Structure 1
């Protein structure tokens, strides 16, 4: 009896257990598969951070940074025509017959004025590449151009430097980095890291004195050359033009500043040493393209401007373009409308023509705004000097630009010369090509990386570069000597009107263009 009962009962229990086991196992397997799939998908998404060949999104960032080696416009359609033109030129080059130059700019920037500058500098660099490859009587090596992006604020400069270093050792044969962009702390670190690794750098629009080689800093950036004058030279040229007097000027400056604003402040302060007026600081956001609350500070400073003695008629401004625009707007509503003032500033003034929030009516209220430009299309046409540059040198670029609206040179997109960026981008790339080809030994196809940066001290005299912005004669530290500085005035219509060329030395260089001993 017990055995007869236990047999069916045990089988029943076994069947129940097996059914439940199968169910639990199925649920467990499903859970494992789903979890595995989830992590696999997440890992795949996590690992696939690429944007284009050579360009990635770093961890915790949506920016695409790195070196674009294909036709990639970093999400900005306004760059597309120039990017495609560069790609066509690069594709035409014979494999193994070129060296590479990287144009380092913040391609993922979003502010319209910065994007406009990037577009124009990119166009200028491409035109110099095209000129080097098609109009140099077959000189070698051929030049390949790639786009190097350290991020909108250059905060990913370390990733970029590593990528560029690898390209210098590979078949890319990177031989120079041009451009750099603004004189910021991040860019200063990037230039220091690149030159420490033996990579030559040609700065286009960097003007900060502490982002330059000198005897004082024992050439802290070996292999760095620049085509723009330092802030000190810009200030000296401005002073020779405006005859700035210590008792007639008030200094307004960015505190704590960045490399550009700090050295401009120091240069301006030296010009008006002994002024009866205490310099007036303002503190912008860390990202100086943002508005912040500085407009409130500028409203207060305009009261102090009006409190100065009647003979004071000059305001020296050491700040970036967003704050410059805010200050001009504030001056337009100042209390002392009957007094005339001239605001003088550095090359950040070139951004004003693209500032849509600028109150142009401020310039109808006894206010003039003048600044030192890096280049201007009217400089050599309307104020030709006997030396230091020429209209013929400037026409080399403008003639090429006229051909860039169509094939084979173009199209390269909508162009403009008034902000000077296309011109200075062309000259920086031209200097890079000059250094590369001068460093190429007879009988060799390519120069060594180390030899390119050694060429800069010899770029003078008959070996100078006759740039579209003026002669580029470098001193032993790689800085331009007595470079032409166009003085430009902003009109109420928002146009940059060329005034005249000024010179850091007070007059153009001699025809030999040989810098004197320090």
Structure 2
């Protein structure tokens, strides 16, 4: 009996121990498997492409040197064209330019902007590298993405700084399409590190040099007029009178809207009416509750006499659309009104959420464009730009429909982004080539920065958007400003070119003292 009891006891103990060991072994296998899965997942996650890291939230940020399209299928054709052009360049015979844009933006308008700027920059790269004159250095184009909202600019600026040395030979950054606080901080840091920057469609005065004779962004050049210059051009075209105009503005605003507001305030000096603010969401691409504010502002507009016929709007395009829709439903349809605004108006061209019938109800909407495909076809001015310069870009676009130039994808010139990005790249190329000493392959960064002061007179850039004649602060002097009007059929028409100085520049194109 004792022997049988002892046998049972040993069997029970062995079974307990076996189960424990089995459980421990199973746990170890599960842990090892999980660890392998995690390592595999993490190992795959950090890199979206060479030079581009996947960050928290899945955003792919960095500087791409391959045919990576940042998950935007619409970019694929032109990105492949850029990669093909870069791949044929010989080591040691090129300099690098970075296109600085929010390539992973989700807002459709921002995606459109970025695509058009990418197309324009590439076409200028191709033009430079295949010019019959054989000028050097050749141009390599890389894509710098700061994330959906531009908030990862510090790590991108660090990488671009590293690329100024070694085989990359980065010598300029172009793009910087939007006048945002993030872009302003990025431009400040880039220029203070000695990297030349050519802004394409930035228009905010706070992202420009020259105010009070100071240059907070040393080495920044721009091809688009400032908001102040655009407002002056608009005033010379529309003959804005303070006694007949009302200002509606974004409060607290951003760099674009604040400087546009400041420029418009000078135009409405003497207005008998207080300017009317509205408060949009922090993300101004969102609808928010602003439409309700505009309904009330519209009622106040109806309270003014009919002699008040002009509304100056300092806001982004989502809010502009809401305001136009509110005006289309106003209770004073017999009150003739014209809304004047900046280049954000171009986003409304074809916007299905705009009440286009509003434009048949005694309401006009006109805006200052960065560029327009009809500007130099209809313009009779003999200075300040030419049809030939615009036609050269048209020819490149036509060739870009297929190899060897393209394909670059469907092209839309209506918003001016492609044209202005093309001109910005051309300015960067001219600056780098002029700064390259005879017999050398690569210019010094400081020499490129110094070139901006000479881009005038016979050294101007004959851009497709008009002449680019820089003052000593890197701002374009008396740049052509197309005035465009929305039409009830869902499009827009070119009206005419206006000028900040009230007339085109003289053929010498030399900024006055």
TM-score computed with the length of structure 1 as normaliser: 0.95
Q: Which residue, out of 55, 65, 68, partners 1:69? A: 65
Alignment map for 1:68-467 (pairs within 5 Å): 68-216=64-212, 218-467=214-463
- Equivalents in 2 of 1:46, 1:385: separation in Å? 60
Runs of 5+ unmatched residues, structure 2: none
Matched residue SS, 1:89: helix
- Equivalents in 2 of 1:474, 1:63: separation in Å? 37
1:57 aligns with 2:59: no
Which residue number in structure 2 is paired with residue 479 of structure 1?
475
- Equivalents in 2 of 1:496, 1:136: separation in Å? 37
- Equivalents in 1 of 2:235, 2:173: separation in Å? 33
Q: Deviations over 1:436-461 (max 9, x none)?
A: 11111111111122322221111111
Matched residue SS, 1:454: helix
- Give how far 1:227 is off: 0.2
- Equivalents in 2 of 1:186, 1:343: separation in Å? 29
Q: Deviations over 1:274-327 (max 9, x none)?
A: 211111111111111111110000111110111112211000000001111111
Contact kept, 8 Å, 1:384 with 1:390, in 2: the verdict is no
- Give how far 1:196 is off: 1.8
- Equivalents in 2 of 1:300, 1:217: separation in Å? 41
Contact kept, 8 Å, 2:325 with 2:355, in 1: the verdict is yes
- Equivalents in 2 of 1:248, 1:39: separation in Å? 71
- Equivalents in 2 of 1:105, 1:66: separation in Å? 11
TM-score computed with the length of structure 2 as normaliser: 0.96
- Equivalents in 1 of 2:444, 2:26: separation in Å? 60
Runs of 5+ unmatched residues, structure 1: none
Matched residue SS, 1:168: coil
Q: Deviations over 1:51-101 (max 9, x none)?
A: 122222212x22222112111222222222111111111111112321111
- Give how far 1:9 is off: 6.7
Contact kept, 8 Å, 1:363 with 1:491, in 2: the verdict is yes
- Equivalents in 2 of 1:140, 1:65: separation in Å? 31
Change (3 A) 1:136 1:278: farther
- Equivalents in 2 of 1:250, 1:316: separation in Å? 6
Between 390-399 and 113-122, report the one with greater CA deviation: 113-122
- Equivalents in 2 of 1:468, 1:370: separation in Å? 22
Q: Deviations over 1:245-298 (max 9, x none)?
A: 011000000000000000000000011112111111111111111111100001
Between 257-266 and 153-162, report the one with greater CA deviation: 153-162
Contact kept, 8 Å, 1:113 with 1:354, in 2: the verdict is no
RMSD: 1.7
Matched residue SS, 2:352: coil
